[in-house]
Amino acid sequence: MNIFELIQKQGHEQVVFCYDDSTGLKAIIAIHNTVLGPALGGVRMWKYEKEEDALFDVLRLSKAMTYKAAVAGLNLGGGKAVIIGDPQTQRSEALFRAFGRFVQSLGGRYITAEDVGTDEKVMEWIYSETKYVTGIPESLGGSGNPAPVTAYGVYVGIKACVKEVFGNESLAGKKVAIQGAGQVGRFLCQHLAKDGAKIYITDIIPEKVKQCVGEYKAEFVEPDKIYDIDADIFAPCALGGIINDDTIPRFKFKIIAGGANNQLLDEDKHDRMLMEKGILYAPDYVINAGGLINVGREVEGYNKEHAMKKAEGIYDTLMKVFEVSKRENIPTHVASARIAEERIMSALKIKKISLDTTKASLERRYHR
């Protein structure tokens, strides 16, 4: 594996490998793009089988954060971090404080946040070493758990998809299959149940499903059977790569709209396969941007009402994506990327004009 070829292919600005002998920390921080602002993205702790898998994951995730921030209209860039280890057995204050020192050393180019395997307590530990962290507890002046805003954004995004496919945004009687009963999945269940949707839910940890089954009358489905449910909407809210050659032929859904990152195993191939199959796909980094919107507001000075209002904009953003997709006959993932790239290029032009003006001013000053 040629690391620099991977970095060049994805268009990253900086990749930092972090190691601390005393705590056993092995981490990778990837900064994809900072044209719109500092790179913000969560730190994921996962038991990767190979170090190459961790690198591949952090490069994909950080690039997606660039597009997520751009299409959501935020003045932030894209970054991500992964820690190689088992969060059930290797998580410790010392390890995450060591990670925080690496974040601090980047001087604000990367701002970290929660992700898989981390939570508010972890952010508090990191905060002990650096100010470049979001999602810290509300008692410390932070925004706390981002899951409620993420789930709310997915909910309004689902309504946009239903409007596009069925002509109205009513969820009453709609069948929704949710993969993942973590925090986002559970909060999403709450919104869907309130609107009268029929919910099917699965998780590899059955205990997580109990609340959804008990409180929201969801029906439990075995993990591998979720792809075969005859439902209107599939909402992936766990790990990525679940839209692939093996699962797509099994789909009976009309809509795929969920909170998971990197849902398409092969972005260039599988978004087109969904389009050809007549399935409307809500690009993951568009519909799940609520969490980023939430912590992004923390950078500016947190206000929950403002964060929720901004998350409501996911509805209009998706409708714009669907319009571009139809007009240009391209998959929705391509349409959303085009919208994001146009915003980044516009910012680049503004920066270039500013740099050219500064250069001309300096030349006049020193070469008169």
Q: List the Cα angle 313/317/323 in 5-degree steps.
A: 145
Answer with the one of 91, 112, 140 that is the final residue of a domain: 140
CA 265 to chain centroid: 15
- The answer to whether residue 351 is domain-embedded is no
pLDDT tens string, the chain, 368 residues long: the values are 688 988 888 899 999 999 999 999 999 999 999 999 999 999 999 999 999 999 999 999 999 999 999 999 999 999 999 999 999 999 999 999 999 999 999 999 999 998 889 999 999 999 999 999 999 988 888 888 889 999 999 999 999 999 999 999 999 999 999 999 999 999 999 999 999 999 999 999 888 899 899 999 999 999 999 999 999 999 999 988 999 999 999 999 999 999 998 899 999 899 999 999 999 999 999 999 999 999 888 887 888 888 999 999 999 999 999 999 999 999 999 999 999 999 999 888 876 665 555 455 545 555 54
- Kindly state whether residue 3 falls inside one of the protein's structural domains: no
**pLDDT of the residue at 300:** 76
Say which CATH number the domain at 242 has: 3.40.50.720
* Residue 335 in domain: yes
Q: Which long-range contacts (CB under 8 A, 24 or more apart) does 244-249 make?
A: 244/270, 245/270, 248/273, 248/274, 248/277
Tell whether residue 181 is among the known ligand binding residues: yes
Whether 151 and 136 map to the same domain: the answer is no
Q: Is 24 annotated as a binding residue?
A: no
What pLDDT score was predicted for residue 111?
Answer: 97
Q: Is 184 annotated as a binding residue?
A: yes
* 299 marked as part of a ligand binding site: no
In a domain, 359, yes or no: no
Burial of 37 (0-12, 13-18, 19+ CB in 10 A): middle
Shared domain check, 176 and 45: no
In this prediction the pTM is 0.85
For residues 31 and 44, what is the distance between their CA atoms, to the nearest angstrom?
15
- If asked whether residues 21 and 55 sit together in one domain, one would say yes
| Residue where one domain finishes, among candidates 140, 156, 181 | 140
**Looking at residue 102, what is its pLDDT?**
98
Please indicate, yes or no, whether residues 105 and 183 belong to a single structural domain of this protein: no
Same structural domain, 125 and 27 = yes
Q: CA dist 88 to 91, 116, 228, 304, 368, Å?
A: 7, 12, 31, 31, 66
Give CA separation, 62 vs 28, 112, 357, in Å: 11, 11, 32
CATH number at residue 59: 3.40.50.10860
**107: number of CA atoms within 13 Å, CB side?**
0
**Domain-embedded: residue 354:** no
Residue 108 lies in a domain: yes
Is 70 within a domain? no
Q: Are residues 126 and 271 in the same domain?
A: no
**For residue 65, what are its two tokens?**
């954060």
DSSP for 288-335?
Answer: TTHHHHHHHHHHH---HHHHHHHHHTHHHHHHHHHHHHHHHT--HHHH
Distance CA 126, CA 329 (A): 45
Same domain for 85 and 50?
yes
Domain contains 309: yes
Instruction: Give the H or E element holding residue 281.
Output: strand 280-281
Distance of CA 340 to the CA centre of its chain: 14
The whole-number pLDDT of residue 361 equals 53
**Given strand 233-236, what is the order of strands in its sheet?**
219-220, 198-202, 175-179, 233-236, 255-256, 280-281
Task: Looking at the structure, tell me whether residues 113 and 156 fall in a common domain.
Answer: no
Does residue 37 share a domain with residue 157?
Answer: no
* Tokens found for residue 300: 């500016």
User: Which of 298, 311, 308, 291 lies closest to 137 in space, CA to CA?
Assistant: 298
Task: Supply the range of the domain harboring residue 125.
Answer: 12-63+76-140
Residues 196 and 99 in one domain: no
Three-state secondary-structure class, residue 257: coil
Specify whether the CB–CB gap between 44 and 36 falls below 8 A: no
What is the set of active-site residues? 80
DSSP 342-365: HHHHHHHHHHHHHHHHHHHHHHHH
Q: Last residue of a domain, which of 99, 114, 140?
A: 140
Looking at the structure, do residues 232 and 255 belong to the same domain, yes or no? yes
| 16 annotated binding-site participant | no
Instruction: Give the count of domains, the chain.
Output: 2
Whether 209 and 323 map to the same domain: the answer is yes
79's enclosing H/E stretch is strand 77-84
